[in-house]
Structure 1
Amino acid sequence: MIGFLISRVLQAACVILAMSVLVFLGVYAIGNPVDVLIAPDATQEQRAIAIAHLGLDKPLWHQLGTFLWRALHGDFGSSFVYDMPVADLILSRLPATFELTVLAVVCATCLGVPLGMYAGYRPQAALSRLIMAVSIVGFSVPTFWIGLVLILVFAVQFGVLPAGGRGETVEVFGVPWSFLTADGLMHLLLPALNLALFKFSMMVRLARAGTRELMLTDTVKFARAAGLSEFTILVRHVLRLISIPIATVFGLEFASTLAFAVVTETIFSWPGLGKLVIDSITSLDRPVMVAYLMLVALLFIVINLMVDVVYALLDPRLRKGRA
């Protein structure tokens, strides 16, 4: 297990290094941040001062080497737009995205897996057909359209939920959280619902397919012959056997949702990482963009490693194979 962890850490370092170089070069090729950050009527002297202040007067290889050396020491530079350390800027936006993602993915899993198992256990029932119809809608309809409909219905027509913003927050150990206040929770519901619908549909279909397949296996037949109740069979045998693919999807979807909740955060003006990266792309804020994508790469690697560990906990054969 130790050798496995070491190899994954080395892989993570290589992936992050490659990601940093590719993103830095890609952003450099897109355009010059000075053209966006400085007024068009600025003089050549003012432009030269701004370029030198941002460190853009150095050769490309020098800029890249300086960035990588600082990043190795935990310094990702300062944002061109916000004029503050990039690490502090990302950390200030991370709690908002984290609580939105956790609520969305956990709710989608806790609702989608039981409903999917029911749809697989009773495929011809009316409720099962309704569940699958909702899952088809979640897969088919674009996220931005669902978000606009939610705002139109619940914020504009009925006025029961706010259309955007984070609402009131409470600081715990210096970190602001919305779900700890009634107003913050109200602001959290619509974006979380919008973000959870696609994940819910995926969990429903995954649990349904696994349940339908397992209900025809000898494991379930022997359990019924032993006199176990249907509920016990579903919980003790079926749920345990489909838990490995569910754990895989949960980990990957949590990482992708945390990293790419861009559309939802933009629609609902949620002050998280997604909105930050959109603003950074618009203004060509190179340090923020590169640091964000490095964080995304690290996030996927760490969660994949956690999924592998969960595999070993769920399946004894994997523990014996790695022993």
Structure 2
Amino acid sequence: MVAFIVRRLWQAALVMLVMSLLVFLGVFVIGNPVDVLISPDATQDIRNRVIAQYGLDLPIWQQYLHFASNLLHGDLGRSFVYNMPVSQLIASRFPATMELAVIAVLLASLIGIPLGIYAGYKPESWTAKVIMALSILGFSVPTFWIGLMLIMVFAVQLGIMPAGGRGETVSVFGIPVSFLTFDGMRHLILPAVNLSLFKMSMMIRLAASGTREVMLTDTIKFARAAGINEWTILRRHVLRLISIPLVTVFGLELGSTIAFAVVTETIYSWPGLGKLIIDSITSLDRPVMVAYLMLVSLMFITINLVVDLAYAVLDPRMRHGGGK
């Protein structure tokens, strides 16, 4: 098990090194931040001073080495636009995105997995067919259109939900959260539902296909022959046997939800990282873009590591294979 963890950590460090290089080079070729930072009416002396202040006059390899050195020391740079450390800027926005993503993925899992198991357990019933049809609809309809329709119906026409913002928050261990207040929960419902629909469709289809496959195995046949009731079979055998792919999807979808909540946060004016990265791209705030992409890379690598460890717990064959 120790060798398994050490190998995964070494792979994670190597991936982070490669990603830092790709991210830095990718952001470097996107526009010139000097054109945004400096007024067109500024003199050449002012332009040269600002360029030298931000190190933009150095060769790209020196800029990367400077960036990598600061990154190893936990310094993500300073925002061109907000004129504050990027780490503080991201820390102030991350709790909102994390809260929205966790609620959305939990909502998708708690609803999607039971519906998928039912659809796989009774695939010929009309209820199962309706569930699978709705899952296809969840894949097909664009997220931004669903978000706009939710605002139109529940905020504009019915007036029972707010159209945007985060609402009232309370501090828990210094972290502001919305779901513990009534006003915050009202602001959270629509964006969380909007963000969870695609994930819910994926959970439904994955759980349904896994259940149909498991129900044909000898394990289920022997359990039924032993007189075990159907509810116990579904809870103890079916859910356990399909848990590994579900754990994978849960982990990866949590990471992708955090990383790609840009559309939902923009539609609902949710003050998270998604809205921050859109503003940064518009203003060519290079340090914020690089830090955001590095954070996303680190998050996916960490989630993959946790999923691998969960695999080792759920499936001893991987643990023993990893030890070798």
TM-score normalised to structure 2 length: 0.96
Give the letter aligned to residue 91 of structure 1: A
Instruction: Indicate yes or no: 2:263 matched with 1:263.
Output: yes
Distance 2:157 2:246 in 1: 37
Indicate the residue corresponding to 1:75 in structure 2. 75
Distance 2:140 2:318 in 1: 36
Distance 1:233 1:8 in 2: 35
Deviation at 1:7, TM superposition (A): 2.2
CA-to-aligned-CA distance 1:92-116 (integer Å, 9 cap, x gap): 1110011101000011011111111
Partners of 1:27 and 1:284 within 8 A in 2: no
SS in 1 for 2:29: helix
Distance 1:86 1:303 in 2: 23
Partners of 1:24 and 1:286 within 8 A in 2: no
CA-to-aligned-CA distance 1:198-232 (integer Å, 9 cap, x gap): 00000000111011111122211111111111111
RMSD: 1.3
Distance 1:319 1:19 in 2: 28
Give the letter aligned to residue 56 of structure 2: L
Deviation at 1:286, TM superposition (A): 1.0
Distance 1:82 1:177 in 2: 24
Deviation at 1:9, TM superposition (A): 1.9
Distance 2:281 2:109 in 1: 32
Pairing of 1:79-90 with structure 2 (within 5 A): 79-90=79-90
Partners of 2:4 and 2:319 within 8 A in 1: no
Partners of 2:116 and 2:208 within 8 A in 1: yes
Instruction: Indicate yes or no: 2:234 matched with 1:246.
Output: no
Give the letter aligned to residue 217 of structure 1: T
Distance 2:275 2:86 in 1: 15
Q: Greater shift after overlay, 231-240 or 35-44?
A: 35-44
Deviation at 1:308, TM superposition (A): 1.1
Indicate the residue corresponding to 1:2 in structure 2. 2
Aligned residues: 323
Indicate the residue corresponding to 1:213 in structure 2. 213
Q: Greater shift after overlay, 39-48 or 14-23?
A: 39-48
Q: 1:320 to 1:20 in 2, by over 3 A?
A: closer
Indicate the residue corresponding to 1:36 in structure 2. 36
Deviation at 1:322, TM superposition (A): 4.0
Distance 1:217 1:15 in 2: 38
Distance 2:313 2:229 in 1: 26
Indicate the residue corresponding to 1:47 in structure 2. 47
Distance 1:222 1:13 in 2: 46
Partners of 1:143 and 1:195 within 8 A in 2: yes
Pairing of 1:1-20 with structure 2 (within 5 A): 1-20=1-20
Partners of 1:146 and 1:194 within 8 A in 2: yes
Distance 1:232 1:31 in 2: 60
TM-score normalised to structure 1 length: 0.96
Partners of 2:138 and 2:198 within 8 A in 1: yes
Q: Greater shift after overlay, 196-205 or 217-226?
A: 217-226
Instruction: Indicate yes or no: 2:297 matched with 1:297.
Output: yes
Q: 1:136 to 1:68 in 2, by over 3 A?
A: same
Give the letter aligned to residue 247 of structure 2: A
Deviation at 1:179, TM superposition (A): 1.0
Indicate the residue corresponding to 2:163 in structure 1. 163
Runs of 5+ unmatched residues, structure 1: none
Q: Greater shift after overlay, 296-305 or 23-32?
A: 23-32
SS in 1 for 2:171: strand
Indicate the residue corresponding to 1:287 in structure 2. 287
Partners of 1:154 and 1:160 within 8 A in 2: yes
Deviation at 1:171, TM superposition (A): 1.2
Indicate the residue corresponding to 1:233 in structure 2. 233
Partners of 1:255 and 1:303 within 8 A in 2: yes
Deviation at 1:74, TM superposition (A): 0.5
Indicate the residue corresponding to 1:147 in structure 2. 147
Indicate the residue corresponding to 1:105 in structure 2. 105
Give the letter aligned to residue 16 of structure 2: I
SS in 2 for 1:166: coil
